[in-house]
Amino acid sequence: MQARDLPGAYRVVVLVSGAGTLLQALLDAPDPGYRVVAVGADRPGATGLDRAQDAGLPTFVERLADHPDRQSWNDALAEAVLGHRPDVVIGAGFMKLVAQTFLDALGCPMLNTHPALLPAFPGAHAVRDALAAGVTTTGATVHEVDAGLDTGPVLAQVEVPVLPSDDEDVLHERIKTEERRLLVETVRSLAASRSGRDNHEVSQ
Protein backbone atom coordinates (compact mmCIF):
# COMPACT_ATOMS: atom_id res chain seq x y z
CA MET A 1 0.00 0.00 0.00
CA GLN A 2 1.41 3.38 -0.98
CA ALA A 3 1.62 6.25 1.48
CA ARG A 4 -0.88 8.33 -0.46
CA ASP A 5 -3.48 5.58 0.20
CA LEU A 6 -2.97 5.54 3.95
CA PRO A 7 -5.55 7.24 6.16
CA GLY A 8 -4.19 10.01 8.36
CA ALA A 9 -1.29 10.89 6.05
CA TYR A 10 -0.29 14.51 5.38
CA ARG A 11 -2.95 15.72 2.94
CA VAL A 12 -1.78 17.48 -0.24
CA VAL A 13 -3.98 19.28 -2.76
CA VAL A 14 -2.18 20.09 -6.02
CA LEU A 15 -3.14 22.89 -8.43
CA VAL A 16 -2.02 22.62 -12.06
CA SER A 17 -2.39 24.52 -15.31
CA GLY A 18 -0.49 22.33 -17.76
CA ALA A 19 1.37 19.05 -18.18
CA GLY A 20 1.54 18.15 -14.50
CA THR A 21 5.10 16.78 -14.38
CA LEU A 22 5.57 18.19 -10.88
CA LEU A 23 2.34 16.48 -9.86
CA GLN A 24 3.62 13.23 -11.35
CA ALA A 25 6.83 13.53 -9.32
CA LEU A 26 4.74 13.87 -6.15
CA LEU A 27 2.65 10.84 -7.12
CA ASP A 28 5.64 8.67 -8.04
CA ALA A 29 7.80 9.40 -4.99
CA PRO A 30 8.60 6.25 -2.99
CA ASP A 31 7.53 6.28 0.67
CA PRO A 32 6.53 9.93 0.55
CA GLY A 33 4.85 10.22 3.95
CA TYR A 34 2.15 12.39 2.37
CA ARG A 35 -1.05 11.71 0.46
CA VAL A 36 -2.13 13.61 -2.66
CA VAL A 37 -5.89 13.82 -2.10
CA ALA A 38 -7.09 15.97 -5.03
CA VAL A 39 -5.93 17.92 -8.05
CA GLY A 40 -7.45 21.15 -9.29
CA ALA A 41 -6.88 23.25 -12.40
CA ASP A 42 -7.78 26.63 -13.83
CA ARG A 43 -8.70 25.13 -17.22
CA PRO A 44 -10.35 21.84 -18.23
CA GLY A 45 -7.74 20.78 -20.79
CA ALA A 46 -4.78 20.61 -18.40
CA THR A 47 -2.89 17.35 -18.89
CA GLY A 48 -2.25 17.27 -15.15
CA LEU A 49 -5.94 16.45 -14.70
CA ASP A 50 -5.46 13.33 -16.83
CA ARG A 51 -2.55 12.30 -14.63
CA ALA A 52 -4.73 12.74 -11.56
CA GLN A 53 -7.57 10.72 -13.05
CA ASP A 54 -5.13 7.96 -14.03
CA ALA A 55 -4.08 7.86 -10.36
CA GLY A 56 -7.70 7.60 -9.24
CA LEU A 57 -7.75 11.06 -7.66
CA PRO A 58 -10.69 13.46 -7.54
CA THR A 59 -10.29 16.56 -9.71
CA PHE A 60 -11.92 19.96 -9.99
CA VAL A 61 -11.70 22.92 -12.37
CA GLU A 62 -12.28 26.59 -11.57
CA ARG A 63 -11.98 28.75 -14.69
CA LEU A 64 -11.48 32.44 -14.15
CA ALA A 65 -13.79 33.09 -17.11
CA ASP A 66 -16.67 31.34 -15.32
CA HIS A 67 -16.75 33.97 -12.57
CA PRO A 68 -17.83 37.63 -12.66
CA ASP A 69 -14.56 38.87 -11.18
CA ARG A 70 -11.25 37.66 -9.85
CA GLN A 71 -12.36 37.79 -6.21
CA SER A 72 -15.27 35.48 -6.96
CA TRP A 73 -12.85 33.10 -8.63
CA ASN A 74 -10.55 33.17 -5.60
CA ASP A 75 -13.50 32.44 -3.32
CA ALA A 76 -14.69 29.53 -5.47
CA LEU A 77 -11.19 28.11 -5.75
CA ALA A 78 -10.74 28.28 -1.98
CA GLU A 79 -14.05 26.49 -1.44
CA ALA A 80 -13.07 23.73 -3.88
CA VAL A 81 -9.67 23.26 -2.26
CA LEU A 82 -10.99 23.30 1.29
CA GLY A 83 -13.45 20.54 0.44
CA HIS A 84 -10.45 18.18 0.46
CA ARG A 85 -9.13 19.28 3.89
CA PRO A 86 -5.51 19.96 2.85
CA ASP A 87 -2.51 20.21 5.15
CA VAL A 88 -0.67 21.93 2.30
CA VAL A 89 -1.59 23.20 -1.17
CA ILE A 90 0.97 22.94 -3.97
CA GLY A 91 0.99 25.20 -7.00
CA ALA A 92 2.59 22.76 -9.44
CA GLY A 93 2.91 24.83 -12.60
CA PHE A 94 -0.26 26.70 -11.62
CA MET A 95 -0.14 29.84 -13.76
CA LYS A 96 -2.58 32.04 -11.88
CA LEU A 97 -1.82 34.48 -9.07
CA VAL A 98 -4.06 33.98 -6.06
CA ALA A 99 -5.29 36.71 -3.75
CA GLN A 100 -4.46 37.12 -0.09
CA THR A 101 -8.08 36.29 0.70
CA PHE A 102 -7.55 32.87 -0.90
CA LEU A 103 -4.41 32.26 1.14
CA ASP A 104 -6.11 33.41 4.35
CA ALA A 105 -9.04 31.07 3.72
CA LEU A 106 -6.83 28.00 3.35
CA GLY A 107 -5.65 27.79 6.94
CA CYS A 108 -2.55 25.97 5.70
CA PRO A 109 0.53 26.89 3.61
CA MET A 110 0.52 27.07 -0.16
CA LEU A 111 3.84 26.24 -1.82
CA ASN A 112 5.15 26.99 -5.29
CA THR A 113 8.24 26.04 -7.28
CA HIS A 114 10.24 28.46 -9.39
CA PRO A 115 13.04 27.79 -11.94
CA ALA A 116 15.58 30.23 -10.45
CA LEU A 117 17.27 31.05 -7.18
CA LEU A 118 14.78 33.54 -5.78
CA PRO A 119 14.82 36.45 -5.22
CA ALA A 120 16.76 36.45 -8.50
CA PHE A 121 14.69 36.27 -11.71
CA PRO A 122 11.08 36.21 -10.51
CA GLY A 123 8.24 35.97 -13.01
CA ALA A 124 7.30 33.80 -15.96
CA HIS A 125 10.60 34.02 -17.89
CA ALA A 126 13.12 33.12 -15.21
CA VAL A 127 15.25 30.81 -17.35
CA ARG A 128 15.38 33.26 -20.27
CA ASP A 129 16.22 36.09 -17.87
CA ALA A 130 19.05 34.10 -16.28
CA LEU A 131 20.59 33.41 -19.67
CA ALA A 132 20.24 37.04 -20.69
CA ALA A 133 21.96 38.15 -17.49
CA GLY A 134 24.93 35.89 -18.21
CA VAL A 135 24.94 34.17 -14.81
CA THR A 136 26.95 30.97 -14.43
CA THR A 137 24.65 29.48 -11.80
CA THR A 138 20.87 29.43 -11.49
CA GLY A 139 18.64 26.81 -9.91
CA ALA A 140 15.26 25.95 -8.48
CA THR A 141 13.34 27.24 -5.47
CA VAL A 142 10.45 25.99 -3.38
CA HIS A 143 8.79 28.89 -1.58
CA GLU A 144 5.66 29.68 0.34
CA VAL A 145 3.13 31.64 -1.69
CA ASP A 146 2.09 35.13 -0.65
CA ALA A 147 0.08 37.73 -2.55
CA GLY A 148 3.14 38.92 -4.49
CA LEU A 149 4.87 37.51 -7.55
CA ASP A 150 7.40 34.91 -6.32
CA THR A 151 7.99 36.95 -3.15
CA GLY A 152 7.05 34.47 -0.41
CA PRO A 153 9.51 32.94 2.09
CA VAL A 154 12.03 30.55 0.55
CA LEU A 155 11.85 27.02 1.97
CA ALA A 156 14.46 25.22 -0.13
CA GLN A 157 16.79 25.85 -3.07
CA VAL A 158 19.17 23.89 -5.25
CA GLU A 159 21.79 25.30 -7.60
CA VAL A 160 22.04 24.34 -11.28
CA PRO A 161 25.08 25.38 -13.35
CA VAL A 162 24.56 27.31 -16.57
CA LEU A 163 26.68 25.70 -19.29
CA PRO A 164 28.14 27.58 -22.27
CA SER A 165 26.12 25.39 -24.64
CA ASP A 166 22.79 25.97 -22.90
CA ASP A 167 19.80 27.47 -24.62
CA GLU A 168 16.55 28.18 -22.79
CA ASP A 169 14.97 24.78 -23.42
CA VAL A 170 18.03 22.74 -22.48
CA LEU A 171 18.67 24.69 -19.30
CA HIS A 172 15.01 24.62 -18.32
CA GLU A 173 14.85 20.83 -18.66
CA ARG A 174 17.87 20.45 -16.39
CA ILE A 175 16.31 22.80 -13.84
CA LYS A 176 13.00 20.91 -13.99
CA THR A 177 14.73 17.69 -12.98
CA GLU A 178 16.05 19.36 -9.83
CA GLU A 179 12.77 21.23 -9.28
CA ARG A 180 10.80 18.00 -9.13
CA ARG A 181 13.25 16.40 -6.73
CA LEU A 182 13.33 19.49 -4.51
CA LEU A 183 9.55 19.70 -4.32
CA VAL A 184 9.20 16.06 -3.28
CA GLU A 185 11.91 16.44 -0.64
CA THR A 186 10.31 19.61 0.74
CA VAL A 187 6.81 18.16 1.00
CA ARG A 188 8.18 14.96 2.49
CA SER A 189 10.05 17.02 5.09
CA LEU A 190 6.93 19.02 5.96
CA ALA A 191 4.95 15.80 6.33
CA ALA A 192 7.63 14.29 8.58
CA SER A 193 7.70 17.43 10.72
CA ARG A 194 3.92 17.35 11.14
CA SER A 195 4.04 13.64 11.99
CA GLY A 196 6.73 14.29 14.58
CA ARG A 197 4.67 17.02 16.21
CA ASP A 198 1.58 14.79 16.23
CA ASN A 199 3.50 11.92 17.82
CA HIS A 200 4.87 14.28 20.47
CA GLU A 201 1.40 15.61 21.23
CA VAL A 202 0.02 12.07 21.59
CA SER A 203 2.82 11.08 23.98
CA GLN A 204 2.19 13.98 26.36
Active site residues: 114
95 vs 20: CA distance, rounded Å: 12
9 vs 33: CA distance, rounded Å: 7
How many angstroms separate the Cα of 138 from the Cα of each of 43, 130, 162, 166? 30, 7, 7, 12
